[in-house]
Structure 1
Amino acid sequence: MFCFNGGPGPTALLTAGTHGDEYEGQVALRRLVHDLGKADVRGRVIILPALNQPAVVAGRRTSPLDGGNLNRLFPGDPTGGPTSMIAHYVATELFPMADLVIDVHSGGSSLDHVAMTLARPGQDEKQAEAIRRLIKSFGAPYGAMTKGESGGASTTLYAAAEAQGIPALTTELGSGSTLSSTGLTIAEGGLRRVLRDYGIVPNMDAPEPYPTQLVRYPIASIYSPCAGLFEPFAAPGEVVACGQRAGLVHRLDDALSAPVELTFPSGGIVTFRRFPTLSSTGDALFGLMAPLDVS
């Protein structure tokens, strides 16, 4: 944990490595640590670039100590397993210090994901406006207000922050067990802009943000109907139509059978696509989002 305390001002809590196989945030925060050592900080920045350290060291989504998925265990339990204890520490010790929270995630080893921010809707209009401000400042290509129906719901880090009235967001950047240069650039730029825009590091250099497209997410998903080899026909960010061919699953249990054809259940923008070819029954293969009408 790194803490840069410059006196009176807001506190930003910045985390990555909640899932150990997601790297853009881990690298972006490590770089930010070096930059903040030379910066004029007017407030406080708390950084945990490897929040679930056991999972980070193992390169896994979940902890090798107890199998815990940290982003499904908030607000945690001080008498639970190691992963639940981490969640409890963040929720009870760090959240009370924070004026804003950003938890940087990526598609990890399982998903190829568009670059986007996700945030809860807020408990009232004042909090909702603060969250929208945070989304705009971070400046990812897409931004969604969501209750986490596609994963985690109220048990995620950013949901636990919202429950305490703190403006918070998470991200999805990159894909696979590697480092996306585009995702890393978006993570670095977004974090630096937030610190500048909130007056915590007022002289921080930061690139211009992307014009964020607000979206509804999720609107539909496709899951693998059987164990097989996934052959996709669409890419993240692609606009697709209802009934359009999405891909094939070549069955593992019967090489002579025709592959299972998948079609999109609705029109929308492809949010993510499964990264590994080998898929099990029930694996998420595609997710869809749709532009949000804010007129």
Structure 2
Amino acid sequence: MNSNSPGRQSKIWMDLDLDAERKQVGFFRLPLAVHDRSGDDAGYNYEPIPFITIRNGDGPGVLLMAGNHGNEYEGQIILMKLVQELQVDDVCGRIIVLPAANAPAVRADRRNSPLDDGNLNRQFPGAPDGGPTAMIAHLIESALLTRVDYAVDLHSGSLSAEYLPCAVVARPPESARIDDALDRLRVFGMPIGMFIEHSTGGDHALIGACRRQGVHHLSTELGGGGSVSREALRIAEHGLRRLLHHVGVLRRPLTAQPPQECRVLRRVPASDYIYADSSERGLFEPLVGLGDEVAAGQTVGLIHFTTTPWREPESVTAKVGGVVLCRRVPARTGRGDCVFVIGRDWTSPLATAVSDR
């Protein structure tokens, strides 16, 4: 593969050699004119996608990503700080870093790309001749995942949700790899680890791409709500350093912080999330918070109606019991809006995505 062609048939180009033995910083260049998304004043422009690669001898390869969704901030900060610190001598193998994976979305401060409304985490395996977001997905799967053994994708709750900070692994296709996945959760050392049976995006998410390429995957949910959680940032910074040392790509952990004890949960299926069911939109008053335990049938919130303020509020109840993992941020709420996501203790390799009610 030559240095100007990062992925077979990809129209994205670069000026560096991905396989060089040194620390490099530069840009993948996403051409805008290919799909007439350049605007009236920029017919031949490109969108720069920043990347950093550090390679030093033989060892494992790791892809670090943030900005998969452009307005999820903690991961972007963590990776920018890490790449400024890391030097070639710290590494044994290869680290590739995309701090702003969906660069158009990061630039626009949006979840999805302003070029094609593309959600990068629903575009894999992508296509070299697809839209801008599909081209980025194709680059990641065909040129980056094929060079690594592990991928870490740092997410948070975007503008509409806030998460109980947690690390996330998906159930590996081989049962023999379950213990290894759980070990990565515990080494990362967030207070909550989430073991999911199926990714929301299925085969079109990065998790699906990792499965196709035989790459071990870990992701996070680090707060959200359009802000940056100081505590989640701190815990995840130390966790990422421990994990990179654990898989062998760092010669030393670069942190003395031990992992916290990790409670492993599984997310209940979407049908058991807690939804508002009011035909009229109103203001949602939460009666529980992140990390709280709720019981099936418990009233977890009230919807108040500003158009008829004398009307009694409607109750929102939990369908199943468990731990509140995620909450809706906007107060204005109506039928179909998810107000809470629930997790339950993961106890067995035989656990399925079907809730045991």
> What range is the shorter-chain TM-score in?
over 0.9
1:225 is displaced (CA, Å) by 2.0
Per mean C-alpha deviation after superposition, the further-off stretch among 16-25 and 114-123 is 114-123
For the residue of structure 1 that corresponds to 2:316, the secondary structure is: strand
Alignment of 1:205-224 (within 5 A): 205-206=254-255, 207-218=257-268, 220-224=272-276
1:44 aligns with 2:98: no
Is contact 1:146-1:216 (8 Å) kept? yes
List per-residue Cα deviations over 1:36-66 (Å, max 9, x = no partner).
1375211111000110111111111111111
Is contact 1:19-1:52 (8 Å) kept? yes
1:30 is displaced (CA, Å) by 0.3
Alignment of 1:11-90 (within 5 A): 11-37=61-87, 39-90=89-140
Instruction: Tell me the TM-score normalised to structure 2 length.
Output: 0.78
Q: Which residue of 1 aligns with 2:293?
A: 239
Q: Which residue of 2 aligns with 1:116?
A: 166
Alignment of 1:113-192 (within 5 A): 113-148=163-198, 151-192=200-241
Identity rate of aligned residues, in percent?
39
Is contact 1:141-1:211 (8 Å) kept? yes
Per mean C-alpha deviation after superposition, the further-off stretch among 192-201 and 243-252 is 243-252
1:147–1:74 distance in 2 versus 1, CA, 3 Å: farther
The aligned amino acid for 2:342 is L
Of the three residues 253, 264, 271, the one matched with 2:325 is: 271
Q: Distance in 2 between matches of 1:261 and 1:195?
A: 46
Q: Distance in 1 between matches of 2:139 and 2:88?
A: 29
Structure of greater relative contact order (alpha carbons < 8 Å, 6+ residues apart)? 1
List per-residue Cα deviations over 1:208-267 (Å, max 9, x = no partner).
112111112125311222422211111111111122211012246654433221011121
1:147 is displaced (CA, Å) by 3.2
1:292 aligns with 2:342: no
Q: Distance in 2 between matches of 1:253 and 1:181?
A: 38
Q: Distance in 2 between matches of 1:74 and 1:256?
A: 50
Q: Which residue of 2 aligns with 1:225?
A: 277
1:175–1:189 distance in 2 versus 1, CA, 3 Å: same
The aligned amino acid for 2:331 is T
For the residue of structure 2 that corresponds to 1:177, the secondary structure is: coil
The aligned amino acid for 1:88 is H
1:248–1:45 distance in 2 versus 1, CA, 3 Å: same
Q: Distance in 1 between matches of 2:320 and 2:75?
A: 32
List per-residue Cα deviations over 1:103-151 (Å, max 9, x = no partner).
00001111111111222211113433432232222122222221336x3
Is contact 2:55-2:88 (8 Å) kept? no
Q: Distance in 2 between matches of 1:279 and 1:21?
A: 21
1:24 is displaced (CA, Å) by 0.7
1:252–1:94 distance in 2 versus 1, CA, 3 Å: farther
Is contact 2:207-2:217 (8 Å) kept? yes
Instruction: Tell me the TM-score normalised to structure 1 length.
Output: 0.93
Once superposed, what is the RMSD of the aligned Cα atoms? 1.8
Is contact 1:231-1:247 (8 Å) kept? yes
Q: Distance in 2 between matches of 1:114 and 1:140?
A: 10
For the residue of structure 2 that corresponds to 1:93, the secondary structure is: helix
Return 5+ residue gaps in structure 2 as ranges: 1-50, 350-357
Q: Distance in 2 between matches of 1:145 and 1:154?
A: 17
1:205 is displaced (CA, Å) by 2.0
Aligned positions, number: 294
1:100 aligns with 2:154: no
In the TM superposition, structure 1's runs of 4+ consecutive aligned residues that sit over 6 Å from their partners are none
Q: Distance in 1 between matches of 2:172 and 2:133?
A: 26
The aligned amino acid for 1:102 is V
